[in-house]
Amino acid sequence: IVRFNAQLKRWEASDVSRHDLSDRADDLLKPALRLSTEISHAYADLLQQMTHLSTFAELRTDPLTGVLNRRAFDESLEKLLAAHQGDELPLAIAMLDLDHFKRVNDEQGHLAGDRVLQDMAQLVKACLREGDVLARFGGEEFLVLLPGVLLADAHPVAERLRALVSGAPLDDGGTVIGVSVSIGIAE
């Protein structure tokens, strides 16, 4: 801009017509305008990509608990099975079902039930290994994929999860709600 202003002053001092002066100013400004347009387009592309990623994440995430949803779980399972096809690597799966959850909703209200689901998801997520997959299957049911885990080794994991959830005082903002969870496992 300083260079542009200096050049503009030199042209104004000379015997250049207003039309020529305007054309010369346009010539000086064209690269800056081109760059500005490129930046604007790049910014618009970036916003579009961010929106796409956000939408993609929303399609794969359970909005209440923040863990994967059933669709994303199915995709993860397919990818794991395809990646290890023929490898004979074990894969255990655990299904967690909150016991008597309807009673929590009926007696404490659906907001309390939502908080219990959120708390449970965070408790379970915190004790899983990197690479394990946690998803909300539906309602009060959650699935955990345990790659590389044999059925015999899944028993202690399931018991640890059961004890963790059953021993946790999940709080609905005033009333402590005692919950328990049943877990089924398969390989």
pLDDT at 153: 95
- The answer on pLDDT for 54 being more than 70 is no
Number of Cβ within 10 Å of residue 105's Cβ equals 16
pTM of the model: 0.66
Q: How far apart are the first and last CA of the chain?
A: 69
For the stretch 87-117, pLDDT in tens is 888 999 999 999 988 888 888 888 988 988 9
Position 173 confidence tier, pLDDT thresholds 50, 70, 90: low
- The answer on pLDDT for 62 being more than 80 is yes
Can you tell me the distance from the alpha carbon of 120 to that of 25, in angstroms, rounded to the nearest whole number? 66
Catalytic residue from among 58, 130, 140, 187: 140
Pairing of strands 141-147, 133-138: antiparallel
For the stretch 69-83, pLDDT in tens is 999 999 999 988 888
Q: Which has more pLDDT, 31 or 156?
A: 156
- The answer on pLDDT for 134 being more than 90 is yes
Can you tell me the distance from the alpha carbon of 71 to that of 177, in angstroms, rounded to the nearest whole number? 30
pLDDT at 18: 72
Is-contact 54 60, C-beta < 8 A?
no
pLDDT at 36: 84
Position 126 confidence tier, pLDDT thresholds 50, 70, 90: very high
Is 140 an active-site residue?
yes
Q: Which has more pLDDT, 31 or 124?
A: 124
Average pLDDT across the chain, whole number: 84
Structure tokens at 33: 């305008």
Q: Taking residues 152-164, what's their average pLDDT?
A: 92
- The answer on pLDDT for 171 being more than 70 is no
Can you tell me the distance from the alpha carbon of 30 to that of 137, in angstroms, rounded to the nearest whole number? 57
Whose structure tokens read 């005033």?
A: 174
> What are the backbone angles phi and psi of residue 154, rounded to the nearest 5°?
-75, -25
Q: Which helix (H) or strand (E) holds 91?
A: strand 91-98
Residue type, 158: A
